[in-house]
Amino acid sequence: DLYDHEAAAPVLDSLPFYNHCRRLLTPEGCMTVNLFGRASSFVRSVEKMSAAFGKDAIWAFKPTREGNTVVLAQHTPSRPKRDVLTARADRIEFEWGLPASKWVRVFKPMVS
């Protein structure tokens, strides 16, 4: 969550910040951030992440009713098929009891 206590706009939201985040990740790593999808800064934030990670590396969950959108940026872009994501979700549900199959339904690349 990149917002301060006033939640007006992301506090850490610059291209150098996202470049640094990418450099810290392993090739298989990813960064996740919570953004206010309804805020005017959302598009600018995603553009900066895309510049740092590459457009094919950016995924997002469907916004919540409150307007939060979790964005995921991969160090190394990959586009697993839906059946691969579903199998991974099944494993997460089995191992940890989390509702991962629901996540697959609301998770998609930002650029197709």
CB 101 within 8 A of CB 89: yes
**Given this model, what pLDDT does residue 8 score?**
62
Instruction: Indicate the domain borders of the chain.
Output: 15-77
Name the β-bridge partners of 58. Answer: 73
**Per-residue confidence in pLDDT tens, the chain, 112 aa:** 666 666 666 678 899 999 999 999 999 999 999 887 666 688 889 999 999 999 999 999 988 888 888 999 999 999 888 899 999 999 999 999 999 999 998 888 887 5
Q: Which residues, including other chains, have CB under 8 Å from residue 42's CB and lie 6 or more apart?
A: 35, 36, 69
**Given this model, what pLDDT does residue 71 score?**
94
Neighbours of 90 (CB within 10 A): 13
CB 72 within 8 A of CB 59: yes
Single pTM value for the model: 0.83
**Given this model, what pLDDT does residue 73 score?**
97
C-alpha distances in Å from residue 107, one per residue of 11, 35, 51: 25, 15, 21
Question: Could you give the strand order of the β-sheet that contains 107-109, starting from the edge strand earlier in sequence?
Answer: 30-36, 68-74, 58-61, 107-109
